[in-house]
C-alpha cells in the first residue's frame, strides 16, 4: 500500500482539482475579493487557499494530515494543524469554509469568525446524483448540513448545489485519486478494496480509457450571530 506521503501527493496531483467548481461557486456567491480573510477547515494540499488568494483574499488553512499540510506549506501557504484560538491581536475572519466538518473542529473555529461573517459547510449531494458514494460505496452518508447549522447557533443564509464531475485519464489514476480521499480507508483488506474499486470503475470507462464519475455537491451558507 502507498505511504502517507504518496497518498497526499495523489490528492494534490490528481484529486483536489475535482472540487474546483465547488470552491469557485462558493467564492462567487460570497463575492470573495481583496481584503477578505478566510479560514478553511480541511484545506488539504492548499488548492482552495490558492484560489482565494488569486481573488485577493488572505486565506489560512487548517489540515490535520501532516503529509498534506507539508505539501500546502511547500506552496508557501499558511496552514495550521488545528483551528486557531481567537486573539484580540488579530482581525477576525470574514468567512469560514468547511467540507464535511467535524462538529468539534467547527465549534473551535467559529469564535474566530466576526459577527455577520459567513460560514460555508459543504458535503455530498443527493445519493442518486453522486456516483462515488452511491455506486462505489465510498464513505458514510452525507451530513445533515442544515441540522449542523442549527446546532451551531448560526443563521441560515442560503444554499446551493454544484456539479463536480470526477474525471481521470484512466482507471489507475482514478483508483489513486479516490483512495487519496480517505473514503475507502476503513476497508479490512486494503489490497482487496483497491482491486474491487478498480473493477467497480470499469463501467464508467470511456472509449479512450478515461473515467468519468458525475457528482453533485451541496453547500449551505450561514451567518455568525
Predicted local distance difference test score (pLDDT) of residue 1: 55
Predicted local distance difference test score (pLDDT) of residue 139: 63
Residue 207, C-alpha cell as written in the block: 472509449
Predicted local distance difference test score (pLDDT) of residue 107: 93
Give tens-digit pLDDT for 96-143. Answer: 999 888 888 899 999 999 999 999 999 999 888 999 886 777 666 788
Q: Which residues of the chain have pLDDT under 70?
A: 1, 88-89, 134, 138-140
Residue 121, C-alpha cell as written in the block: 459547510
Predicted local distance difference test score (pLDDT) of residue 189: 84
Residue 31, C-alpha cell as written in the block: 463575492
Residue with cell 484512466: 170
DSSP character for 84? P
Amino acid at each position: 500500500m502507498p505511504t502517507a506521503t504518496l497518498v497526499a501527493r495523489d490528492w494534490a496531483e490528481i484529486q483536489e482539482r475535482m472540487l474546483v467548481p465547488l470552491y469557485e461557486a462558493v467564492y462567487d456567491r460570497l463575492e470573495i475579493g481583496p481584503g477578505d480573510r478566510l479560514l478553511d477547515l480541511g484545506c488539504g494540499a492548499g488548492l482552495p487557499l490558492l484560489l482565494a488568494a488569486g481573488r485577493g483574499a488572505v486565506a489560512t488553512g487548517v489540515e490535520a494530515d501532516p503529509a498534506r499540510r507539508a505539501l500546502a506549506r511547500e506552496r508557501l501557504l499558511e496552514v495550521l494543524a488545528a483551528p486557531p484560538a481567537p486573539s484580540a491581536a488579530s482581525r477576525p475572519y470574514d468567512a469560514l469554509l468547511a467540507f464535511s466538518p467535524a462538529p468539534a473542529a467547527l465549534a473551535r473555529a467559529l469564535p474566530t469568525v466576526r459577527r455577520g461573517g459567513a460560514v460555508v459547510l459543504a458535503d455530498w449531494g443527493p445519493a442518486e446524483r453522486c456516483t462515488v458514494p452511491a455506486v462505489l460505496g465510498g464513505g458514510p452518508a452525507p451530513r445533515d448540513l442544515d441540522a449542523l447549522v442549527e446546532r451551531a447557533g448560526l443563521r441560515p443564509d442560503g444554499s446551493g448545489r454544484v456539479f463536480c464531475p470526477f474525471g481521470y485519464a484512466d482507471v489507475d489514476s482514478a483508483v489513486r485519486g479516490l483512495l487519496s480521499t480517505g473514503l475507502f480507508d476503513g476497508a479490512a483488506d486494503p489490497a482487496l478494496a483497491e482491486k474491487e474499486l478498480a473493477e467497480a470503475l470499469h463501467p464508467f470507462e470511456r472509449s479512450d480509457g478515461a473515467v468519468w464519475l458525475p457528482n453533485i455537491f451541496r453547500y449551505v451558507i450561514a451567518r455568525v450571530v
